[in-house]
Structure 1
Amino acid sequence: MVSTGKIEPFDNSSENWTCYKERLDQYFIVNEVDDGKQVPALLSLIGSKTYGTLRDLCSPDLPKDKTYAALCKLLSEHYNPEPLLIAERFRFWKRNQRPDETVSQFNVSLRKLAEHCKFGGNLNDSLRDRFVCGLKTESIQKRLLSEKDLTYEKAIELATAMECAQKDVKELHGATQSLNKLTLRKKQIAKTQPQALKSESPCYRCNRTNHKPDQCRFKDATCNKCGRKGHISPACNQQQRPSQQQKKQKGRAKLHQVEEEEIDIDSLFKLDEHDTGTNREPIWLQPIVNGRKVRMELDTGSGVSIIPMEMKDTLFPNDTVHESDLKLKTYSNETLLPEGYIKCKVNIHGQEKDLKLYVMRKGKVPLFGREWLYALKLDWTEIWNLNLDRVAQLKNKYKDVFDRDLGKVKNFKAKLKLKPESTPKFVKARSVPFAMKPQIEEELDRLVKDGVLEKVDTSEWATPIVPVPKKEGIRICGDFKVTINPLLEVDQHPLPKIEDIFASLGKGK
C-alpha cells in the first residue's frame, strides 16, 4: 500500500514536538492507521535519535509496551516542558516591534508568545493592547489610539493598510526625485601629457615621491651636510624649491589637460525589446548612418547615442573607433566606459549632421539618444500616427473585445435556489421624479430591445427599480434586497482571516 504524504524523523533543533505530533496525527488519519498500529508507526517514524531518548524515558519498560498517548506524553514532557506562566507573560508584555519587522511579522510573533500565557477569553484584548503599544511607527500608533471601540482585527487591518500606504508614498517620492537626472562634472586629468609628467615630482625636502613638500615630515628637520633647515641630506644636492624646469613642465601640463564629462542616463539597453505592453512599446527610428539604414530605438533617457561593438563591426567594419574620455552612469549609478566613438554622417527627414556614435562592448540594440535629438528634429506627428496604427491593428484583431454590443455568457445557465416554504413577493413600483420618467422609459425600451429584460403582463414576483443618474444617461438597477435576496439559499465560501494565514506561516522559511 502506498502511503499519502511523508513524515521525516523528528528533529528537536528545527521543530518542536507539539507541531510534529499535530502533523503525525494528520498523517495517521489520511493513511487510515488504526489505534493498534499507531505505536509501531510512531516508533518507526520518529528516527533513531528520538527513539533512543524515548527508550531511556520508558526504562526499564520498552516503548512498544506503552500506549500511543503515554508515549506522546513522555516526549512532550521531555521536549516541551510546560513553561512558567509569569515568564511567558513577561516576554509577551515586553515585546515591541523591531526596526526591521513589518506589522504582519510583529503580529505573528505576538500570537506565538501568547500561546502559553493562558489569557483565555481576554486573548484578543491582550493581543490588541500589546500590538498597539508595541508599534514602532508613531503615526500608526496615533491613528489606532484615536479609533473608538477598536478591536484586535480592526487594529491589524488599519496598521497593515497604513504601513503599505507609507511604503508606496516613499517609493513614489524616491522615484520622482531620481528620475531623468542629468549631471555634468568636470574632472582635471593629464591624459595627453608625457608619462614622465604624469608621475609626481620628487619632494625637494627628502627626495621621495609619495607626498607633497608641504606634507613632508622633514620640513622642520636640519640637514647634516649643509646645516640648513627644511630638508635632509639625501635631498641636499637638489634645489630647496621646485626648479624652473619643473615649473615649465607644470605649465605645459596644464595646456594638455582635458575635460571629462560624466553623464547620468536613465537606461542603456532594455532587457526585452519585444515588450508586448502597448504603453511600453519601443519607438523605432531608421536614420541613414554613414550611408547605411540603421534601426535604432528612441531613448530620451540616454544622454548619447550608442551602438553595441558587435553591431558596429557588422555595419561599419572600416570605421575607426576614436578614444573618448566620456563616462556613462546608469539609473542605478553604475559607471560604464565606452570603447570610444565613430564619426558619423547622420541623415533623417532630410536633415544631415556630423555626429558621434559611441561604441559599447556589450549591448543589444542601438539607441538614438538626446545628443542626436538636439541636432536632428524628429517628426513627432509621424511617430504618433505609428502608435495610432498599432492601436487600430489591435482593435481590428480583437473585434469581439472592443465590440460595444452586449456580450453573453455561453454554455451556462444560472439557477436560483430558494429556501423551503418561500413564497413569491410582489412590491409595487416606487414613484420617480417626473423629469426622469422619459429617460427611464427610454432605458427600459433599450434593455428590452437588447434582450436584457423581457416584457410580461403578469407575474407573482415584482421588484422595484432604482434609477441611478449617470453622465451617459440613466442606469437601472433592481432592489432585490426587499424581494428575492432574503429567500435565497446562498453558497457559503468562508475566507480565512489574514492573521490566521500569517500564523500558519510563522515558521516558514
Structure 2
Amino acid sequence: MSNSPQISDLLAALTEQQRTMATLIASLSQRSVSEGSSTKTSVSSFPAFDRTNEKWDVYVAGLGQHFEAHRVLADNRKRAYLLSWVASDTFELLQKLFAGDDVTNVPYDSLVSKLSDYWKKSVHVMAARCLFYRRCLLPGQSYAEWIANLRGIGKDCQFLCPDEKCGKSYLDSLIRDVIVTNTPDEQVRVAALQQSNPSLAQVIQIAEAHEVTRKALTTMKQHPAEVIADVQQVGASVRPTKDGGKGLSLPSCSQCFRQHDRKVCRFRLAVCHRCKRKGHISEVYNAVPRARPRQVRYGERPKKKAAGGSPRPTSEQAVRLVSLKSSDDGALNGGSSVHYCASLGGAEQVDSPSMRPLTERGTACWRENRNIWISLKVNGSPLVFQVDTGATSSMVGLRGWRQLGSPECVPTRQALQAYGGITIPTKGFLNVHVALGEQARRLTLLVTDSEQGSNLMGLDWIDAFSIQLPSCNATYSVDVRDVESAIKHITDKYEAVFRPNLGTCTSLKAKLILKPNAQPKVFKPRPLPFVLMDAKPVPTSQWAAPIVVVKKSSGGIRICGDFKVTVNPQLEINLFPITRLEELLVKLQHGQHFSRIDLADAYLQIELDEASKALMVVNTPFGLFQYQRLPFGVASAPAIFQQFMAQLISGVPGCATYLDDIIVTEKDIADHVRNLEILFDRLTAAGLRCKLEKCAFFRPTVEYVGHIISANGIRPSERGVEAIRKLPCPRNVQELQVFIGKVNYYAKFLEDFAKNCAILNALRQKNVPFVWTNEHQCAFERLKEKIANATLLVHFQEDLPVINILATDASQHGVGAVLLHRYPDGTERPIAHASKTLNAQQKGYSQVEKEGLAIVFGVKKFHQYLYGRHFELLTDHKPLVSIFNPSKALPMMTAQRLQR
C-alpha cells in the first residue's frame, strides 16, 4: 500500500502528457492543412476558353465546378488559374477592358463579371431570334436535342411579355411553333395540326412517338446477317470494333483521339512533337488506323487482284462517287463520319421512284461533256451545280461559299475522301434555303476548304426535290444469302424442269385446221450449205415444204420449214390474242424483284395430233421428213402456244407470260418464292422443260420483251436502243419503213412522236420521190437521240391515292396525248405517251377541231386505263372547256359553227 501515492502521481503525469500530445498533434494538423491550402499548386489543367465555339457563361460554370472539385478557394489562386487558362485573345481583351489597371491584381469575380457583361452586350437580339426561327432538325439529331438547342438559343432572344407587370416568358409556345413549322417529318406536322391548340408537351409527345416508331420499323427491317451490296470503299481504313467491325468507329476528339468532346480537350493549344503543328499531339498518328485488307463478308466473293496487288475494278469505266459512311446517326451534329470516293462498276441501271424529270419547265439544266448541270438559288444567290448521283451529300467549294456571302459554317467532323483515298478538308456545313423552280427546301450544304472545290448536287438534294434522271447507277441492299438460298431451293426442288432433254407437253396436242378445199403443195428441196450437212434427219410424211436453216448463237442449228408457201395460206388461223405489254405490266405493278423463266425450244415441247403431222412435212436434200411436234413458222403456232400458256399460269399470283417468256414477281422474297413454286409445280405437271442458262431469279431489274422492267417503271432496253442507234441512214423507202417501225415500238416513251416523224412519213407516201435532205437527216438523228434519252414510265397503279391525268395537244402535223399519275406530293409521272399523224382531210380541220380530235384520240387510246375511273383532262385550248363541259349546254351559235 506504500506504493499507492507513487502510482497515483505516475498516472497523473501520464494523463498530462497525453493532453499535451493531443494538443500538439491538433496544432500540427491545422498547420499542415493551412500550409497545404496556401502552397498546393498541383491542380489538373482545365480546357482553354474558345470564344468562337463556346459560351462564356457555360465555361465559367464549368470552371467553378472545377475549382470546387480541387478545393481552390483562395481568390488569388482562382485569378491566376483563370488568366493562365484563357486564350491569348481573351487575355488581351481583359487588358483592354481594365485599361490602366493590372489584371493580375483585379479580383477573380470582377474579371468574370466584366467578361460576362462584355459578351452579353455583344449579343444581338434580332440576330438571335433569326437564328432561333431558322433552326432545323439536323441529320441524326433527335427531337430532344433539337429542343435543347432551341432553348439555348432562346435565352438570348428575350421572348418576354411586353407587359412590365407580367414579364412571363413565351419561349415554350415559340419552340412549339418552330417544331411544327420546321420538322422534316410530314406525319409529325399533320398530327400536330390536327389538334386545335396543342401545347409544347403534346407536340413533343407526338414527335417522340413518331421517332420511336420510325426507329422501331428500321430495326425490324434490318436482318442480323444482312449483306449490303454496296460500293467497295477505296482507301478506307477500318478498325475492328466491339460490334464485330460492322461500322467505322473513330474517336470523337481529333486533338488526342480520346473519347470526349473536342471542345473540352486540354490539348487544343498543344504543339505536336512530330509535325510541329498546333492543335493536336503526336499520339494522334499512332491512333489513326492503318489501311487493312478488306474483310470479305459471308455471301461475297473475294475480288481478284491486279498485278500491282490492288483489287481489280469490276468495270473499266470508273465513275466518281462520294459515299457517306457513318458509325452513328449524328453525322453533322457531333458524330464521326467519312465520305468515300470509289469506283462504281457492275451496277445495274435503275431509276429512282417518285421523281420528276430534271429538264422540267422553270429549271435551268443542260448537258455538257456527258455531265448534267443545274442552276439553283441558294439563299437567294444563283449557283451552278453539277448533278452527281455518286455523291451522298451536296457541297460547294470556297468560291461558291463566297458567292453565298461567306456565311458562318457550323463545324463538323465529317471527312471527305476523293477517288483513290485523297482526303479533302471541310470547312463545315450550312443550313441553306434552296429554290428549284417553284419548289423550295431548307437543306444541309457541306463546304469544302478548297479553292478548286466543285459545286456538287448530291443524292440528298436530288431526293429532296424528287428529281428524275434519265438513268443512274445504283446499288441495292439485299440479303445475298436469302437470294442464293432461294435460288438453290428452286433449282434443287425442280431439278427435273431444268434437265437438258426436250420436254413433252402432257396436257395438249396441237391441231391444225385446214380451210375447205385446201390443196396440198410440194416444193423441191433447197440446197443445204455443205457445212450443215451433218444435220440429223426427222420422220417423214406426205407434205413437202422447203426448209430454212438458221444457226443459233449457241453454235447449233435450227431447221425451220418455209410453211408460208404451203400450209399457212390454207390454215384456219387460231385467233387467240397475244398478250399486250400494257396488260403484262398491270400484273407486275407491285413487284420489287423479278424472275424471268425461259422455256427450252418452247413450241417443240407440244406434240402434234396425227392429222396435223401429215401437214408438217419438209423437203430436204436427204428426202421428205415429217414433224412430230409443233414447229416454228406455222401461222397458228403463236396463238396455240399463247393460249396454252395463259391457261397454264392462270391463277398464279404475280405471273405473266409472253409466248415462251414467263415473268414472276412479288413484294418480298418469301412470296416471290411461293409464286415460283406454284409456277414450277404446274410446269412439272405439264411435262415442260426450262433452260436454266437463260433464266434469271430475283433481279431488281429484268429485260423483258425489249424493255427494262423495275419496281419503279419501264424503259427501253439497252440492246433495243443500241440497235436503233446503229441503223444507217435510209437509202430507200423500205429502209425508212424499217427505221420507223423500230422507233414506233418505243413510241410510248416519246413526246410528240408524230410531230417529229411527220417529215419522214411524208417520204412514204405514194407518188413522192425519195429525196433525203438535211431536214430529214436532222429528224432522223433527233429520233435516235430521243430514244437514247427516253423518260422512265411508271407503272399504272390502281390502288394508290393518285390522280389520273390525261393531257392532250394538237399541231398541224398530228395529235398527241400523255397519261400521267399525280402523286400526293404533287409530282407528276408519265405512264405512256401516244401520238397520231393527221391525214390529208384532218389537216384541213380548224384548230379547235384538231384539239377536240386530240381529246377523242387520247380517251380512245387510253380507254383501258380510264374506263370507270375519274380523271383530269388537260388541254391548252380554252374553248374546249365549254364544248366538252358536261354540265353546260353548248350555245346555239357555237354549235352551228362547229357543224359547218
The TM-score normalised by the length of structure 1 is 0.33
The TM-score normalised by the length of structure 2 is 0.20
The structure whose residues are more often helix, as a share, is 1
